[in-house]
Structure 1
Amino acid sequence: MNLIVHHWDTDGITSTAILVKALGLDEFTNLTAPVGEFRFDERIWKAVEKAERLYVLDFNVPDEVERVKIPTLFIDHHTQPRIKNPLVEQVNPSLGGEYWPANSLVVSEHFGIWNAWSALGAVGDVGEKAFELERVRKLLDREGISREEALRLVELIDSNYIAMEREAVEEAVEVFLSHPIKELLEYEPWVKKAEAIREAIEGAVLGVEERNGFAIAHFESPFNIISKVARKLVWELGYRGAVAINGNFHGKAQLYFRISGEEAERIKVAEVIERLKSLGANAGGKREVLGCVCERDKIEDALKIVEEYLR
C-alpha cells in the first residue's frame, strides 16, 4: 500500500495531488494529522505499519520520520534538520539554504510536473505574494484562472481544516483529482463552510492591540482560523507582524506568530520554536511563521517568549 501523509492546508493537498499524478498512483491512502498538531497519531502509525511505502508531504515532522521503518520520500520546504534514517529520501531546499515559498513547487520541481495545482499551493502559503512569481502567474493563466479565483479556491480548500474536519481534508485530495479545477469554485460543501469561517475571522480581528507595529489578537473560536487571522493582520492590514491567540480551541490554546519578510531577517523563528517546545508546547513552522498548541494555562508563558522578539 502507498501511504501519503500530508499537511492539512491547500499546499499539502495540492502537493499530494501532484505526487499522485506524477507517480500514476492508482491505489493509495492519504491521511492528515489531527488538525493543528505536528505529529503522527495512533491512526497514522497503524497505517504506516500496513504500508509498503510512505510519502510525507509539506508536514514538518522530522522526529516522526526518523522513526519510520519503511522506504519513505519526505518532501518539504520548512526549516528542519537533515534526516539520518537511511530509509528516508529527504527532499528539502532549505537544507541547502534555499527558501521556497510552497511545498507544491518543490514537489513539481522534483517530478517535473507543473500545473495550476503547483501555483495554488504557493497562493495558499504566501497569498498575494505568490503572484509576484512569474511561474505562478503563467501556470494560472494557462488554465484560465484569475488572481481572484485562485484566492477563492484557496479559501474553499482551506475551509475543510479550518472547520476541523479531518476526514474532509483527506477527501479533498480525491475531489481535486476528480474535478476540473474551475468547477471547485462552486463545490457546495466547501462554499458553505467558507462563508461561516469568513464571519469568524472578521470578528477575531476586532479590538486588536498594537505593540511596536505588531498586532496582538486575542479571541476564542472552535474554528482553526488562527493562521488566517495572522495573515489578514500582516498582509491586508499592514502590520510588521502579528501574534494571534485562540484562548479556547477545543480545550487547548493556540498561538500563531507571523512576521513580514523584512522582519524574518531579524527574528530567528527556528529559535523561537525551540523555546516554545521547552514549555512542552507542540510547535513548528518555517522562516516567517510559527504555530503552537499548548495547554491553556501555558499560553501566557508562550506569549511572553514571543513578545521578547517584538521589541
Structure 2
Amino acid sequence: MELSSNQLEFLERCKEARKAAFSFKDPLIVFHYDADGITSGAITISAFLKENRKHRTHPTKKLDDALIGQLQKEKEIIFVDLGGGNKRVNELQDVVIIDHHQTEGIEKLQANPLLFGIDGGLELSASGTASLVFDHEFGLGVVGAVGDMQYPLTGMNRHLLEKGISAGELELRNELRLYGRYSRPLVDFLTYSDDPFIPSLTYNPGNCEKFFSDLGIELQEGDSWRTYSSLSFEEKKRIISALAKLLVDKGMGWAASELVGEAYLLNDRESQPSTYDAAEFSTVLNACGRHSRADVGIALCLKKEGSYETGLELLRKHKLAIREGVVFAKKNLNDFGPFFFLDARGLIEDSIVGIVCGMVSGGKTKPILGAALSESGIKVSSRGTKKLVDEGLNLGKVMSSASEEV
C-alpha cells in the first residue's frame, strides 16, 4: 500500500524510538498484561535478545501512582502498551513509550500512532507499533492487533500485514470467522461460537451434533475428532450455507453476511493449532495475562520449550472460568430498561467479567454492564453486539461520562 505523509512521519518516529531504546544500557521493559501488551512486550524483548542487549521485564495490569513510585529509582524504562496516558511518566528518568492509547502532555519520546493522526483504536495497536519500531515480528504484531479487536486489518495494520506476508511470516485467507477452526473438534467449534450468537446452536452441543449429522458430515476420522480446518472444500461450503440460512431465517441477515472474512495465519506455528491463527493465539495470550502468567505468554511468543503446553493449560482454566461465569450470567441478568446489568461482585473475577458480558450479549438488543470486585474497589465492564455498535452505540463514551458522574 502507498503510505500517506503522516504515516511516513510516524515511521520516522518509530525509527527514533528504536534508536533511543537501543541506546539504553539495561532498561526495564514495562508492558500491559493483555494480548496486545504481551505481544508488544515480546516484540520488544525479542529485539533486545537479537541484539544481545541487557534488559529486564515487568508486566502490569495498569500504570498507577503506586507503580510510578516504584519506578522512580529506574534510570531507563521502555513502556509498551501503556505510558502515554499518565503524565507522571514525565517525573521519571530516561523513558521511551510505545503505545496507541489516548495521550496528552507527555514530554518523553513516544511512538504513538495517535500523535500522527492515525487511529490507535482501529488502525494500529501497541504490538503493531512495536513491530514497526523494531522492524520485525510482524506476525506477533498482527496477533496483538486482532487481540485488541482491530479487525479487519486496515490502515497501518494493513501495511503491517503486507510486511509480514512479504517476510514470509504471515498468510492471508478468507475463512469462516468462527473461533476454533484449527483447535476445536467440530461440535465444540459450533457450541462455543458466540460471535455471532447462533440461535439453537450456541451453547447447545446436542443441536450442534445434529446440525453436522443433517449435513452428512462425519465428526470423526478414525480415532481422531475432526476440526473445521480438516474438512474438504465441499464440506466447508455446506456448513457455511447452512449457517447463513439459519441466521437469515432468524432475522440475523447482518450476521450471515459477516460469516466469512479474513484470517491471519502465522506460517511458522502450523504445528501448534492454538497459535496458528492470530485470533486463537491472542486468546491463549489473554488467558496467560488474565491468570497473572504474562511470563508464559512472553515465553510462548518467543517459542520457548514447554510454553505451548503451559499456555494451553492456562487456556483450559480460562475457558472453564468463563463458562462458569456465563452460566451464572445467563441466570442473573437484570433488565434495567436501556441496558442489562450483571452483579458479579465476589462471584466472577474482574479480569474476565467483560469477557463474560460479551459472551452473553449475543442476540441481545441492549448492551450489558457487569460489576466485579477488583483490588481497587469495583470494576464495571460493558459490552454490546457489533450490530449495536454499527448502529451508533459508543460504550467508551458512555462509560467515560458515567465515571465522571461518580
Shared fold (TM-score greater than 0.5)? yes
Contact 2:34 2:286 in 1 (8 A): yes
Contact 1:217 1:243 survives alignment (8 Å): yes
Structure 1 residues 139-192: Cα deviation after superposition (integer angstroms, max 9, x where no partner): 6243354688534433332223333x3xx2245324532527x96256465245
Q: Secondary structure at the match of 2:136?
A: coil
Whether the aligned pair in 2 keeps the contact of 1:3 and 1:51 (CA below 8 Å) is yes
**Correspondence 1:29 to 2:61:** no
8 Å CA contact 2:288–2:314 kept in 1: the answer is: yes
Tell me the equivalent position of 1:115: 138
Distance in structure 2 (CA, Å) of the matches to 1:183 and 1:123:
21
Map Cα deviations across residues 198-220 of structure 1 (whole Å, 9 max, x no partner): 33332244143567885543323
Distance 2:389 2:29 in 1: 34
The CA distance in 1 between the partners of 2:284 and 2:77, in whole Å, is 28
2:28 & 2:403 partners in 1: Cα distance? 28
Give the total of aligned pairs: 266
Cα shift readout 1:24-60 (whole Å, capped 9, x = no counterpart): 3643222233x3x452524x532x2332321111126
Q: Distance in 2 between matches of 1:222 and 1:28?
A: 36
Stretches of structure 1 that go unaligned for 5 or more consecutive residues are 280-300, 302-311
Equivalent positions of 1:35-74 (< 5 A) are 35=61, 37-42=62-67, 45-46=69-70, 48-59=71-82, 62-74=85-97
Q: What does residue range 115-154 of structure 1 map to in structure 2 within 5 Å?
A: 115-126=138-149, 129-130=151-152, 135=161, 137-138=171-172, 140-145=265-270, 149-150=276-277, 151-154=279-282
**Within 2, Cα distance between the matches of 1:63 and 1:137?**
37
Q: 1:89 and 2:109 equivalent?
A: yes
Instruction: Kindly state the Cα deviation for residue 255 of structure 1 after the two structures are TM-superposed.
Output: 0.8
* Worse-matched range after superposition: 114-123 or 140-149: 140-149
Secondary structure of residue in 1 paired with 2:58 = strand
Higher Rg of the two aligned structures? 2
2:294 counterpart letter in structure 1: V
Q: Are residue 161 (structure 1) and residue 289 (structure 2) matched?
A: yes
Tell me the equivalent position of 1:100: 123
Pick the aligned partner of 2:44 from 12, 15, 19: 19
- 2:323 maps to which of 199, 202, 207: 199
SS of the residue 1:74 aligns to: strand
Q: Could you tell me which amino acid in structure 1 is paired with residue 356 of structure 2? A: V
Query: How far apart are 1:277 and its partner, in Å?
Result: 4.5
CA distance in 1, matches of 2:296, 2:389: 37
Q: Does 1:254 align with 2:379?
A: yes
| Residue 8 of structure 1: how far off its partner (Å) | 1.0
1:275 and 2:299 matched: no
Q: Distance in 2 between the 1:13 and 1:158 partners? A: 8
- Cα distance in 1 for residues equivalent to 2:280 and 2:397: 34
Q: Check 1:157–1:144 CA distance in 2 against 1; reply closer, same or farther (3 A cut).
A: closer
SS in 1 for 2:302: helix
Listed as ranges, the matches of 1:205-220 within 5 Å are 205-207=329-331, 208-209=333-334, 215-220=340-345
Corresponding residue for 1:289?
none
Q: How many angstroms apart in 1 are the aligned matches of 2:339 and 2:377? A: 24
> 1:194 is matched by which residue type in structure 2?
H
Give the conservation status (yes or no) of the 8 Å contact 2:84–2:99. Answer: no
SS at match of 1:245: strand
- C-alpha contact 1:7 1:59 (8 A) present in aligned 2: yes
Q: Percent identity?
A: 17
Secondary structure of residue in 1 paired with 2:342: strand
> What's the offset of the Cα at 1:12?
0.2
| TM-score, normalisation: structure 1 | 0.68
Mind listing any 5+ residue stretches in structure 2 that lack a counterpart? 1-25, 162-169, 173-263
C-alpha separation in 2, matches of 1:90 and 1:7: 16
CA distance in 1 between counterparts of 2:153 and 2:267 reads: 14
- The offset of 1:230, in angstroms, is 3.5
- Matched-pair contact (CA < 8 Å) for 1:17–1:177: yes
Deviation at 1:227, TM superposition (A): 2.4
For the Cα contact (< 8 Å) 2:342–2:368, is it kept in 1? Answer: yes
Per the alignment, do residues 174 and 45 of structure 1 end up closer, same or farther by CA in structure 2, a change over 3 Å counting? farther
Task: Give yes or no for contact 2:113–2:124 (8 Å, CA) kept in 1.
Answer: no
Q: TM-score with structure 2 length normalisation?
A: 0.54
